[in-house]
Structure 1
Amino acid sequence: MIRDAEVLNALVEVVRRFARERLLPAEARVEDENTIPPEIIEEMRELGLFGMSIPEDYGGLGLTMEEEVHVAFELGYASPAFRSVIGTNNGIGSQGIIVDGTEEQKQYWLPLMATGEIIGSFALTEPDIGSDAGSVKTTARRDGEHYVLNGTKRYITNAPVADVFTVMARTGGPGAAGVTAFLVPKDSPGLSLGPIDKKMGQRGTRTCDVIFDNCRIAADSVIGGSEGVGFKTAMKVLNRGRLHISAVCVGAAERLCDEAVRFARERVQFGKPIAEHQLIQAMLADSSTEAFAGRAMVLEAARQFDRGERLIQQAASAKLFCSEMVGRVADRAVQIHGGAGYMQEYAVERFYRDVRLFRLYEGTSQIQQIIIAREMLNA
């Protein structure tokens, strides 16, 4: 659903120019320093990117799903680290509050997230808990007007720079029904951070452990005010997150196609540019076709989302296809570059590492396959 095509086109053009003129030139610096330059974060705040999906009533842009994926296509053209810094504010960090939070929680947290004054982080994964998200071991025990949290969360995106964590912790018995969602400020007593993780790719996207050692938080920190519905809250917002990531994968694939075409035109072998060799053309054609298919899939699923249709299968299908697709496109781009594609001076080397993560987070490819098949069999 596009509410005003002219306004959306203007926003997309601004983001496109921002990505190409400001983000692309900063990619090497982000790779070297493993951090996003503060001036770029400030520009993201000014553009309203921290509040893309937050309703206008709370200071955000209130983009529909279709509008959001158009913006995500452009952000995905640059290094994934830039998108990631705003990701949790627009994703599970805010959407859980939007769909299930109390009005008081919405009024306090959402305006701060929308402006980027605070950065949110989502803490679900644990050392022994990944895909089996309903089995979290971190505990939250009621103690008068407080809860006391104990446990460790692992690989938590934005944790080193986050101001507030959405934490899934066990308040009841086994299984998903015993999980509750909490909003935990970074300065809560008993909360500490582990060393910053050294990852294969996506430098600039900082992750680390979040450790709760008798961490005390106010009882009104429970999202929605009710215990035992945290896992359901997370599930409610997964479709939007999966479509957003799918759109980012498409943007990355389109960037890789452009990098491959540029190199193929300039590189000369056997007396002519390698772009004139049919086997190179075949790889370019396959990559462009897959990127186009991914874009079409994401747009159609986004329209279904905005119409309020059930799209668990479609969202999972988009995440599965687009994350796997961008991996194939990255592999071909490196192949077209030949030995140069293995060198860090070329963007395709970095993207080859960066896009590998898309097949793991927001649900692995195998989890998406299970979801798709389950939806098919239950139809």
Structure 2
Amino acid sequence: MTDTVLDPEEQAIVDTVRDFVDRDVRPVARDLEHENTYPETLIEEMKRLGIFGLAIPEPYGEVRVSTPCYALVTEELARGWMSLAGAMGGHTVVAKLITDYGTDEQKQRYLPRLATGQLRATMALTEPGGGSDLQNLRTVATPVRGSGDSGDGGESRGGAPGGYVLNGSKTWITNARRAGLVAVLCKTDPAADPPHRGISVLLVEKGPGFTVSRDLPKLGYKGVESCELSFDDCRVPADALLGGVEGRGFSQMMRGLEIGRIQVAARATGVARAAFDDALRYAQERESFGVPIWKHQSVGNHLADMGTKLTAARQLLLHAARRYDSGQRSDMEAGMAKLFCSETAMEVALAAVRVHGGYGYSTEFDVERYFRDAPLMIVGEGTNEIQKGVIARQLVTRGGL
């Protein structure tokens, strides 16, 4: 599948990643996935290709690509192995947060190392029992105020002079063991009304009081870890407050999740594309009753539906990416893309199993992996039920489409 949405330089980047996936990823993905092995060699090659810095502008990074280009790179990685795309998803969100909202000192400290992949980052939002209710956080960063602090509540400029003491827990945090920087959504003012005005983002590095407690077992999405985090009187310096102003974390993270949901939509599109490609190839190679099985109407109908839905999903993904680059609010478009692309990935993956028949249930074929990976995009980065609520509210607010 090709597009005319990119300039030649960006198309060359996508082509390079496509070659990397075909040459280095697809031949080993099945074994790595079934062994649940962290893809160290592939991650190092992704660093060399500059994939971790695609969202970081100069002078901190070498090249900042458009969001459509970023989405297509993500799609290519997911086409090879969805876990690789997951390895750079949260990393990109944190890089975007620092680029858009960080202080000059935070940008200089983190962005150059994030761009090369020398420093890996992830975000910590979800809490045990909390799910998508991000305003109802229990992770609290207690400010260590100076003697001259007025303590009058509300938005605090400059944060806490003495830093923070962080307590709480997070769960389903991807790349938690290998990330050196975690953007933690927490409450710096638990009494704030409305609650979102008391929420901030802290850029937390590992140290005393910060524990990665365990890796969570998963249906799919193997190789890359998803963990529980615990903060027990974890001391965080004042300059870790994103942007240097308390109370802005919720709106900052909501904007960050727009690119996060576009990334998940791109992952889903990549999985759907891999499933479609395998099914199309198999339907031409496999024969029954003396003809290739695609000539049987039932199989041909599956292929027709798969190709149509995949094409529609890809166009919705690119629409959301262009909207994001326009600078306009894009939560509805990102939500639509995430919703449709993830549901399409699930449908296409199941159809690929059907086309393969009994072989689709065998671990010797990749389609069973696609079927196990696809559900993550339905429930991750805000469940699809949450996306429908976001879409409905924006449809009313905007007066329709």
TM-score by length of 1: 0.96
Matched residue, 1:134 = 135
Residue 35 of structure 1: how far off its partner (Å): 3.0
Q: Would the alpha carbon gap of residues 4 and 228 (structure 1) be closer, same or farther in structure 2, given more than 3 Å must change?
A: same
Aligned counterparts, 1:336-347, within 5 A: 336-347=355-366
Alignment partner, residue 152 of structure 1 = 169
Q: What is aligned with 1:315?
A: 334
Could you say which residue in structure 2 is the equivalent of 1:164? 181
Counterpart Cα distance in 2 of 1:79 and 1:37: 10
In the alignment, residue 116 of structure 2 is paired with which amino acid?
A: T
> Matched residues in 2 for 1:301 and 1:4: separation?
15
Contact kept? 1:54, 1:62, Cα under 8 Å: yes
Shift >3 Å, 4+ stretches = none
Structure number having the greater helix percentage: 1
Q: Which amino acid aligns with 1:121?
A: T
Instruction: Give the secondary structure class of the aligned counterpart of 1:214.
Output: strand
Helix, strand or coil: the match of 2:59?
helix
Q: 1:275-290 counterparts in 2 under 5 A?
A: 275-290=294-309
Report whether the alignment pairs 1:302 with 2:318.
no
Contact 1:36 1:82 in 2 (8 A): no
User: Does the 8 A contact of 2:56 with 2:95 survive in 1?
Assistant: yes
Give deviations 1:274-331, integer Å, cap 9, x for gaps. 1221100000110000000011112222222222233322221111111111110001
Worse overlay, 10-19 or 26-35: 26-35
Matches within 5 A, 1:22-37: 22-37=24-39
Task: State whether residues 247 and 298 of structure 1, in contact with CA within 8 Å, keep that contact through their aligned partners in structure 2.
Answer: yes
Which residue in 2 is equivalent to 1:10? 12
The CA deviation string for residues 338-374 of structure 1, in whole angstroms up to 9 with x for no partner, is 1111111111101100011001111111111001111
State whether residues 53 and 60 of structure 1, in contact with CA within 8 Å, keep that contact through their aligned partners in structure 2.
no
Task: For 2:290, give the aligned amino acid.
Answer: G
1:196 aligns with 2:215: yes
Instruction: Give the match's secondary structure for 2:135.
Output: helix
Aligned position for 1:57: 59
Distance 2:118 2:16 in 1: 22
- 1:119 equivalent to 2:120? Answer yes
Match runs of 1:136-285 below 5 Å: 136-144=137-145, 145-172=162-189, 173=191, 175-186=195-206, 188-285=207-304
Work out which of the residue numbers 22, 38, 42 in structure 2 matches 1:20.
22
Cα separation, 2, equivalents of 1:251 and 1:212: 35
CA–CA separation in structure 2 for the residues paired with 1:289 and 1:10: 26
Could you give the per-residue CA deviations for residues 31-73 of structure 1, whole angstroms, max 9, x where no partner exists? 1332333221111111000111111221242111122122222
Identity value in percent: 40
Q: Judge conservation of contact 2:90–2:260 (CA < 8 Å) in 1.
A: no
CA distance in 1, matches of 2:282, 2:394: 43
User: 1:138 offset after TM fit, Å?
Assistant: 0.6
Q: Contact 2:6 / 2:69 at 8 angstroms: preserved in 1? A: no
Return the TM-score normalized by structure 2: 0.90
What is the CA–CA distance in structure 1 between the aligned matches of 2:209 and 2:52, rounded to whole Å? 28
> Which sections of structure 1, spanning at least 5 residues, go unmatched?
none
**CA 24–219 in structure 1, closer or farther in 2 if over 3 Å, else same:** same
Tell me the amino acid that sits aligned with residue 198 of structure 2.
G
Q: Tell which deviates more after alignment, 307-316 or 105-114.
A: 307-316
What is the aligned partner in structure 1 of residue 311 from structure 2? 292
Secondary structure of the 1:200 match is coil
